[in-house]
Amino acid sequence: MIILNIPGLIILAISFAIAFGIGQLIGTTKQGPLMIIAGPLVVASDLAYRLKRPDGDWLHPNCGGSLFFLPVWPFGILWLVLGVIYTMNG
């Protein structure tokens, strides 16, 4: 059973690659700052993809990136919040 779709895989891969690249530029590989960078990138990428589609549904997994049959953008919000928590505690 496939738990993600191709747009979701591409959104996640590009967002985390950009976050890792920015982390390398600023000299950190800690999990918190990378999640703070990747989270908003995931949200922006998925919502932009969904809004460009004719059906434009924000919640249906087949209208944008999906992970575990859920839209990817809520995961981006979760990663942002967790990144802030990890950064504050670490």
pLDDT digits (tens, 9 = 90+) for 4-21: 789 999 999 999 999 999
Query: pLDDT digits over 31-76, tens only?
Result: 999 999 999 999 999 999 999 988 878 888 788 889 888 999 999 9
pLDDT in tens, 32-41: 999 999 999 9
Secondary structure (DSSP) of 16-69: HHHHHHHHHHHT---HHHHHHHHHHHHHHHHHHHHHHSSS--SS-GGGS-EETT
Residue 1 lies in a domain: no
CA–CA gap between residue 20 and residue 8 (Å, rounded): 18
83, 33 Cβ separation under 8 angstroms? yes
Question: Can you tell me which residue has the tokens 């891969």?
Answer: 13
Total domains in the chain come to 1
| Structural domain range at position 60 | 6-89
Q: What is the mean pLDDT of residues 71-82?
A: 95
